[in-house]
Amino acid sequence: MYTHIRKVVSQFVSEFTKEELDLIEKNFYPKKLGKNEHLLQVGDVAKEVFFINKGIMRNYVPVVNKGQITNYFAEESMFNTSAVSFFSQQPSYEAVQAIEPCEGLAIQYEDLQKLYDRFHNWERLGRLFLQAILMQQDLRLRWFIEKSANERYEAFLQTYPHLMQRIPQYHIASYLGITPESLSRLRSRSHKISADKI
């Protein structure tokens, strides 16, 4: 269970020592979420970060008269939480939910802060984790500013082709800022274009 996370954090920060990696077993604990179960609800304070060994999660914001707007997907080998809530220890504006049954490891806020304080490599890992989230959210923002609905869909296909069959279409539609019906039309059009090229 701990082998995978040790490999992933070592890829992020190659300078991790054995002593620093051994702290994973001492600070992270096994955690499972059932399908559609929440790691975090809106208004709660994020107290833990979850490393995904298996499954997919989404972060979403409930919007009055618009339902749920998905703003982030996290899959295997990724860490997830509501970053703003976790690092500020303030109530979260977003919820974090398992799309599939998820298995992984979690660490409490206080324990992670102790690792940051004691070890430069752990602090660096935290910075890289934040950078990865910011980069993905910046990419999505640029999609909305620069691209049409069709272009956003094509960009999603190119960036996350492996997620199309694992994530419910209505979650993908909300991530792209379109209705499920519009997504269905875009998919049909894309399939037709691909078939015509054959």
What pLDDT does residue 197 have?
55
* Residue 121 to residue 128: CA distance in whole angstroms: 10
What pLDDT does residue 16 have?
95
Burial string for 66-90 (b: 16+ CB within 10 Å, else e) reads: eebebbbbbbeebbbbbbebbbeee
- pLDDT tens profile 164-186: 889 999 999 999 999 999 999 99
What pLDDT does residue 182 have?
93
Parts of the chain with a pLDDT under 50? 195, 198
Tally of CB atoms within 10 A around 3: 8
